[in-house]
Amino acid sequence: DTGVSQDPRHKITKRGQNVTFRCDPISEHNRLYWYRQTLGQGPEFLTYFQNEAQLEKSRLLSDRFSAERPKGSFSTLEIQRTEQGDSAMYLCASSRSTSGIGETQYFGPGTRLLVL
């Protein structure tokens, strides 16, 4: 069990550029989540996948954001035309779905984005 990994760990970009982040979940975890955390706040849910299907998206996920999990393993989160308000820590988590029992989400180290 190598844990959830995220790449890159840090990203600095200029306003208007596109950025893409990658998340590799714990193997055999079929659910994958993206959260965003701004300074002084707790993480906020963005979206989640079960296998390759994107099952829920937050209203925080504007049309500039897109997430994919094409083969049900790793996931990518792309932000197009970045804005300064997109500066945040982007956290990925994974879990294994259970029936009738609560799940535990395990988090990666995050990708810190700074938009200049």
Q: Report the interface residues with another protein, using CB under 8 A.
A: 4, 6, 31, 33, 35, 40-45, 48, 55-56, 58, 91, 93, 95, 101-110, 112
Output 18 or 104, the one with its CB closest to another protein. Answer: 104
Radius of gyration (C-alpha) of the chain in whole angstroms: 14
Q: Report, in Å, the least distance between residue 91 CB and another protein.
A: 6
Q: Report, in Å, the least distance between residue 81 CB and another protein.
A: 26
Q: Report, in Å, the least distance between residue 103 CB and another protein.
A: 7
Output 66 or 107, the one with its CB closest to another protein. Answer: 107
Contacts of residues 82-85 at CB distance under 8 Å and 24 or more positions apart, as own/partner, are: 82/13, 82/14, 82/15, 82/16, 82/17, 82/18, 82/19, 82/113, 82/115, 83/15, 83/115, 84/15, 84/115, 84/116, 85/115
